[in-house]
Amino acid sequence: MKNDRLPWRYHNGEFVTGDEVGLPDSTQGLHYGTGAYEGIRAYRTTAGSVRPFRAVEHFGRLVRSAGILRISLQESVDDLVAVCDDLLKRNEVTEDCYIRPIVFKQALLPSTPYGIRLTGVTHSLVISLVPMPSRLAEGRSVRLHLTDIRRIPASSIPAGAKVTGAYVNNALAVQDAIENGYDDALMLTGDGYVAEASTSNVFCVRGSEVATPDVTSDILPGITRQVSLDILGRMPGLTVHERKIGVAELLESDEVFLTGTGIEVARVASIGRTEIGSGPAGHSITSQLAAEYARQVRQSSPDR
């Protein structure tokens, strides 16, 4: 898979190509992690067009995350969705791709004293695209490492804000997982409950109950998590709960799976040395969810 960004990008109200988005080393977001970003997948639909999935929800979250950093975007959510459509056209995208909007603090205004602050600083917005095929059809599975690195509590950084600086926490957790031979990290809250994986939400299934950590468990309430809750809520015979989940409960589950824009829906094969879902039912709820999710992301109707 190519990691090269596609040439056309959006930068502060203009469409640009090439290296035009050069950043000075005084960029404030670089110094203090004062930025907010999103990851949005665009899928090739059954009708052949490429459409961003749940773009309104993603840009709504970007606007809220930016607001926490006291950034008021000049573009509305609708404007941002229109920018994406324009970028998909300009870049002549015909296959699945990934859209990365990022807004960050740029420069201190002349009257602003040097130092860390959220007001008196300009901001920049860049939206770029990267080719990224869906991996839903592979039915991929993930081996999770129960990392000792705890999720930053919502009392320190609002968990629902997708702010760049907070991702040092996730990067350290993933690195810990990789260095221990795993694919991704499972992070706990300060008081030891299940929070989330590095960039995805966690679900578990036991019998006919599906559960996922609630919003007080220091999670980013994912857009894929909500789509999944809606799908699972309509599956006959299942009860679905958002609540606190302990590690022991997770390890004893029939199925564990992750949801997120990047990972889509992926089953968890193991957590540490504990295998998950090796019983006769396998990961049947996960498979049903993944199949329905795969259908929804490719539907050509305007539901996005």
The residues that touch ligand PMP, with contacts defined as CB under 6 A, are: 39, 162, 170, 196, 199-201, 220, 222-225, 259-261
Nearest to 259 by CA among 216, 221, 214: 221
| CB-CB contact of 231 with 293 (8 Å) | yes
Per DSSP, the three-state class of 155 is: coil
Chain-centroid distance of CA 266 in Å reads 14
- In angstroms, the Cα distances linking 204 to 174, 212, 254, 259, 287 are 21, 6, 7, 11, 13
Count of all residues that appear for the chain in the document: 304
Closest contact distance (angstroms) between CB of 218 and ligand PMP is: 10
Nearer to ligand PMP, 121 or 126 (CB): 126
Chain residue at closest Cβ approach to ligand PMP: 222
Closest contact distance (angstroms) between CB of 265 and ligand PMP is: 10
Nearer to ligand PMP, 63 or 121 (CB): 63
268's CB contacts (< 8 A; 6+ apart) are 141, 142, 143, 144, 202, 256, 257, 258, 276, 277
Closest contact distance (angstroms) between CB of 259 and ligand PMP is: 6
* CA dist., res. 195 & res. 170, Å (int): 12
Nearer to ligand PMP, 253 or 261 (CB): 261
Closest contact distance (angstroms) between CB of 214 and ligand PMP is: 14
Closest contact distance (angstroms) between CB of 35 and ligand PMP is: 14
Closest contact distance (angstroms) between CB of 261 and ligand PMP is: 3
Nearest to 184 by CA among 164, 205, 200, 165: 200
Per DSSP, the three-state class of 225 is: helix
Closest contact distance (angstroms) between CB of 212 and ligand PMP is: 11
Nearer to ligand PMP, 121 or 132 (CB): 132
Nearer to ligand PMP, 222 or 277 (CB): 222
Nearest to 261 by CA among 198, 217, 175: 198
Nearer to ligand PMP, 101 or 277 (CB): 101
Hunting for tokens 């950043």 — which residue is that?
23
Nearer to ligand PMP, 168 or 281 (CB): 168
* CA dist., res. 174 & res. 170, Å (int): 6
Nearer to ligand PMP, 205 or 258 (CB): 258
* CA dist., res. 32 & res. 278, Å (int): 45
Closest contact distance (angstroms) between CB of 169 and ligand PMP is: 9
